Amino acid sequence: MTGARCQWGVGCLGAMARKTETAGQADPLAPVTLAVGQEDLLLDRAVQQVVAAARAADADTDVRDLTPDQLVPGTLAELTSPSLFAERKVVVVRNAQDLSADTVKDVKAYLAAPAEEITLVLLHAGGAKGKGLLDAARKAGAREVACPKMTKPADRLSFVRSEFRTVGRSATPEACQALVDAIGSDLRELASAVSQLVADVEGAIDEAVVGRYYTGRAEASSFTVADRAVEGRAAEALEALRWSLATGVAPVMITSALAQGVRAIGKLSSARGGRPADLARELGMPPWKIDRVRQQMRGWTPDGVAAALRAVAEADAGVKGGGDDPEYALEKAVVTIARAARARRG
């Protein structure tokens, strides 16, 4: 623990609470860190942050990384018992929601009197399982790090922007979107892609740069399928769809991208005219996307938008168990959307 020392007993709990109030998320050496969520990359980063801070304070810090089957009753007390050499230690408990009832009792007892020079890191999935331990850690004033699963494209886009900001590099909004489109939902791969671009490219990173590095993957992304479909390019959309499925893109991600593409057409077609910046505020879209959707919506009619939305809804039901062949459901939706996109021209 940094700052004031505390001994075994009630006084240490008070110190933990004060530390949380004053330092909060900023102090990775709080006596207890609680990382909550199911995003593996964020959970691992929470651990790495604590370990790095501990080793910066003491290069000889002992790190123990344990799974529930390794943390049997009595193990935590043994690991956190006072050392003759007062060595700093980090004890990491993964999947804390799966701990046995007896081990949970040990952890709760430790929370009431955390040991000096020891940082306990609890990784918990959240939810109902093991909620008693989760509540106990929060009540004890543990420093909490949110590690939620990023299921929405907008969340992943924000993650990519944050990755670039963290390393002090500039990337255009189009480049960030292109990277998400190309890589997909795996946060580790997104983080790795940002690191590669930052290491290899000097100056600002734009959409053309991302395209050069990740063209093959971008062509197989769910958003490429949607873009080609709403542009009325049925053959290219079907080709992109088959590549997406062949490379492991989840069908539900494709229906989500199709829905976003069609809804964007509908929103912009019914909006009042104005500058991209004004429309962006009104519709909740970035200005660059307004320009893209304007180009895509030229062949659309209100009836076409309605037909496309019905097709997306049917495909969504088909890929979620309502049909026998998810691939056929997606192909049918893509063809229907592409036809709707050409309704005005037809």
Domain residue extents for the chain:
10-147, 150-219, 224-346
Residue 224: per-residue pLDDT: 85
Question: pLDDT by residue (tens digit) across 197-218?
Answer: 999 888 889 988 888 877 656 5
Residues 331, 238 contacting (CB under 8 angstroms):
yes
**10-147: CATH superfamily:** P-loop containing nucleotide triphosphate hydrolases (3.40.50.300)
As given in the structure block, the two tokens for residue 335 are 């063809």
For the domain made up of 150-219, the CATH class stated in words is mainly alpha
DSSP state of 297: G
- Entry pTM: 0.59
Residue 16: per-residue pLDDT: 37
As given in the structure block, the two tokens for residue 226 are 């949607």
Q: β-strands 89-93, 143-147: how paired? A: unpaired
- What whole-number distance in Å separates Cα of residue 150 and Cα of residue 284? 20
- Would you give the distance in Å from CA 134 to the centre of its chain? 21
**Helix, strand, coil share (%) of the chain residues, nearest 5:** 60, 10, 30
Contacts of 72 (CB under 8 A, 6+ apart): 100, 103
For the domain made up of 224-346, the CATH class stated in words is mainly alpha
Q: In the block, which residue shows the tokens 């309704």?
A: 343
Residue 18: per-residue pLDDT: 33
Which ranges of the chain have pLDDT less than 70? 1-26, 83-86, 215-220, 272-278, 280-281, 285-288, 322-323, 344-346
Residue 166: per-residue pLDDT: 93
CB atoms inside a 10 Å sphere around CB 283 = 17
Residue 253: per-residue pLDDT: 83
Amino acid letter, 229:
A
Residue 14: per-residue pLDDT: 36
Residue 83: per-residue pLDDT: 67
- Give how far Cα 113 sits from Cα of 51, 110, 308, Å: 21, 5, 60
Residue 183: per-residue pLDDT: 79
